[in-house]
Structure formats: C-alpha cells, structure tokens
Amino acid sequence: MRIIFSSTLAAICLIAALSVNACESTEGGPEDWTFKQQSKPAWVESGRHATYKAPSDVFVMRNRKGGEAPGAGEMLNDLRTSLHQLLLPALKPLLEESALASAIDDGLWVGPANIPTLKWKREEWSDGQFSAAFASIDLKTLEQHNQTMIATLGDPQEGPRNAADEARKEASLDSPAARFRRRVLNFDRDLSMMAAIAFSNASQWAYQADATCEVPAPLIERTKASAKALLEYPQLVRVVSSNGGEQRIPLGSVPSQDIELVLREGGQGAAGLPVKGHADGLEIAGYTSLTDESGACSVQLAGPVGFSGKAMHLAGLTLDPDRWTSGLRTGLALPPWNVRVFLPARSNTGVRITLIEKVGNVNQEGESAVITQHLREWLQASGIGLIDSAQDAERYDFVLELGGVIDAREREGDKRSSRRTYAVEALISLRMERGPFIASIKLFGSADFFGEEPGDAAQRALENTWAKDKEALREEMRRGFPPIFPSASDAN
C-alpha cells in the first residue's frame, strides 16, 4: 500500500500546530545547543523561524504567561502531535472498516522513539512575565532515524500474528496483567513500525508535491489484528461482584457510594491491571489506577450532582492500555465494565406541593390559593407527575417538594387614610424529598384598595405578585430541575 503526502498539506498542518494544546510531559530533550535568548526573538511574534521552516523542517511554538518557558517534555509532545497530524490524511484511508479508523483521531501514534532525542532543536525566551519556546526537527534527520528504527522493530512484511501461537504464549504467562501487557506491547510495536515507515522518506516532502511511501499491506493487517486483540481482552474478564450499582442519587447531593468492582480472568483475580474511571455524562472525582490483589477496583463519582436530562447513567471502569505503551496514546476505547446509577429526570420524578398560602392568618385552599393554583397549572402543563397521595409517590424513583410560605396580609398604615394596602411576601423553594434544596426564590407584591373587601384586595395582591415575578420564579425553578415548568417559549 502507498501513503501519499502533500507538501502543501504538510506546511498547513505544521503552521496549524503552532499553538497546540498542552500534552502530558514526556522525558527527553535536545542536545546542549538549547539556549535562552535575552532579547525578544522575531519568532515569538510571528510563529515562524528564519532558520527552521516548512517544508524542510517540522516546527512548533508555544507561548504563555509566566516567566518559565515551556520545557523540553512539552515541546517534544508538541512535535509528536504535529507529526501525528501529518499522518492522519495519509493513514486513515488504509484503516477504514476497522477500530483504528476512529482511534487515529483520538490517538498519538508518533512515539518518543520516533524522534531522535539528541537531534531536535529547541529555543526558549522569557522576559519574566511572558515566555515562549520553539522546537524543530529537520525532515532529513527524522527520515534517517526512522529508517534505522525499522530494523529494530521486526519484519514489516510479516502479517498478523498466529492466533494459536499467541494463545499458547499468553497461557504460559502467570498473571492476567502479564497477558494484557503482551497485547498492549504487540499493538505498540505495530504502531511504532507504521509511523517509522511513514517517516522513512520524510525528506521527500520538501521536494515533491506528492511524495509517496510504501506501507506493506501485511503490516496494516497486523496492526488491525493487534488492535482487535486488545479490544477483545475485556471479554476474558468477568465482574464477579459489584457495589454502588442501582443507587439513586438526588440532585444537589454527593453520591453516597463509590462504585466497586471485583474482576476475575479465568480462575484468577485480575490483579495489577491498569484501569481508569468511566462514567456516561457524570463527573469522576477519582479512581484506583490498578486492580488490587483480588482484582478489586473502584471509581468515585463527583458531587453535587446536577440535572443531566437522563434517568439512567452507566458508570464503572475500563482498562487503560496507554499506561503501558512506550509513550504512545493508542486512541482505543476498550469496552468498560459498568453498573447503572439513576438521577432525577422527567420520566422518574414526581412533584409534591407543600406550599402554605395564607391571607392574614387563614390558610387558603383550592382556587383561593392563588399562587399555588398557578403553580399547579404549570406543573400539569409540563407533564410532570403531581403527587397528591402516598400511592402516587410509589410510582416515582424521586420526589421533589415544591414548598415554602406565601403570606398576604394588610400592611399597617395611617388609620385616618382611606387608602390601605395588602402586601405579599413569599419564599418558594424546590428540594429533593429529605434532601438538599436545589432552588429557591423570594417574591414580593402588593395591592392598594379603597373601601373594597379586604379579601378581594388580598386576591389582587397575590395575582399582582404572580404577574410580576412569575418569570423569575420559572427561571429559578427550572435552573434546579428544568422539566418542572414549561419554558417561557413553550408557555407562550
């Protein structure tokens, strides 16, 4: 198979990489030619260097606030990222209909070994407040290094590994961790070989519009097969016990249980496997990085939990092959081991109204409870279940309480004046039943009256308060639980 590189595309990719995001630190650095410049060099402003330039060089630049310039590890990772971007358009068509087609987008397949440690160049500058670094490697040096590297990685014409041989070799290993590591290193070696071959004619990019590079078809197939073996490893591992699944997490609260799994592979506890937390739409506070001697691992969900829109989430752990590579990021997402956790959503949450609405010292009921009645109508329009009895509550996983006090009373004034005022003060809140408050708001309103019945004035004061503050109330309650009321656009 042939990879086709465009020197024009290479130059565009290189320029685009100048402000690449921060990557994880990697050991290694250039030779002792690295130096600090006292005066501000032109490349800090332009992103281009007078000496090192496309298409004969790959270069990256990073600048930031602070007096400490980006270090060698950061710049090496930036170079690797830039080179990986050059591989994307060339390799991706060869990887179609395999897991690698998406993995190449998320991965970083140019390892530290693909870049000769003592041959790339770095300059740095700082004025104490701002700093910058520039890194470059010439394509001829990159080509020579990767040509030499190919010989150390095996035969690129060798096809997929024999499945029966691999099974025997894995069976001879004494632990699940050793067996998984073997699959990781097989894949790592194949990716390193593919990148080395791709860069083995790197200097041609400078002189030909469409430089080509032969990538042996057997190597492509072998890499696909090793990725498939890595992705299939979780099928060999069973979850023999779990804790923290099926828990119901109220809004505004911290999950009460960590999710704990115990894994086995064959007859052994799956000890020493590299894992990381996995959660569908939830934040993770922490997780164990390796399974313990019994194969146990855990993940802690972060709180307080907010509304997600989904009633059920999957959370657990997944294998992390990148922990055992030579510095590559595989881009593979191995199938996780999950349990279910539940959050309040429209489908599983009912609302109980516990508001007390008073005129003077008299509790109002039915239509006389003006604001309460309006809220009830909004709830009905939203499709949220109303809870009026214990039997109603049994239908829901979660119960929200819409409560508080609405107090309308005549304001003391000048008794000689015929003008009198009914004032309304209200505190309305939304909380999980026996749980935290997730929204609250204060309302104020009034109505003047001259000679009319006080009860009629109180009703007008409540209606005035509703008309004045209903949108603020709607916004606040929906901030805590968006489905509780129709949106303003839906209501209109």
Report pLDDT digits (tens) over 207-255.
555 655 678 999 999 999 999 999 999 999 999 999 999 999 999 999 9
Secondary-structure breakdown of the chain: helix, strand, coil percentages, each rounded to the nearest 5: 40, 30, 35
In this structure, are strands 362-363 and 121-126 parallel, antiparallel, or unpaired?
unpaired
pLDDT in tens, 8-62: 333 333 333 333 333 333 344 554 344 555 688 999 988 888 888 878 888 899 9
Bridge partners of 338, per DSSP, are 316
Distance of CA 113 to the CA centre of its chain: 29
Residues 6 or more apart from 194 whose CB is under 8 A from it? Answer: 91, 109, 215, 219, 220, 223
pLDDT in tens, 412-443: 765 556 678 889 999 999 999 988 999 999 99
Over residues 288-295, the mean pLDDT reads 96
Residue 309 has pLDDT above 50, yes or no: yes
pLDDT bracket for residue 5 (50, 70, 90): very low
- pLDDT given for residue 310 in this prediction: 95
Phi and psi (nearest 5°) for 184? Answer: -60, -45
95 vs 224: CA distance, rounded Å: 8
Bridge partners of 312, per DSSP, are 342
Alpha helices, H only, 92-232: 100-106, 139-153, 163-171, 176-198, 217-232
**Which DSSP state fits 306?**
-
459 vs 447: CA distance, rounded Å: 9
pLDDT in tens, 171-217: 999 999 999 999 999 999 999 999 999 888 877 755 555 655 678 99
Residue in the block written with tokens 């107090």: 407
CB 111 within 8 A of CB 192: yes
pLDDT bracket for residue 136 (50, 70, 90): very high
352 vs 334: CA distance, rounded Å: 43
330 vs 463: CA distance, rounded Å: 63
Strands (E) in 198-280, as ranges, are 210-214, 237-243, 259-265, 268-269, 275-279
Structural domains of the chain sorted by starting position, each given as residue range(s) with its CATH number in brackets: 2-234 (no CATH), 237-343 (2.60.40.10), 347-491 (3.30.160)
Over residues 465-488, the mean pLDDT reads 93
Q: How many CB atoms lie within 10 A of CB 325?
A: 19
Residues 6 or more apart from 442 whose CB is under 8 A from it? Answer: 425, 426, 427
CA angle in degrees (0–180, nearest 5) for 403-406-407: 150
CB 386 within 8 A of CB 379: yes
Residues 6 or more apart from 362 whose CB is under 8 A from it? Answer: none
Nearest to 327 by CA among 21, 22, 25, 20: 25
Phi and psi (nearest 5°) for 30? Answer: -80, 180
248 vs 340: CA distance, rounded Å: 9
- 212 HSE (CA, 13 A, CB side): 4
CB 410 within 8 A of CB 395: no
227 vs 104: CA distance, rounded Å: 12
- pLDDT given for residue 2 in this prediction: 41
Percent of the chain with pLDDT over 90: 69
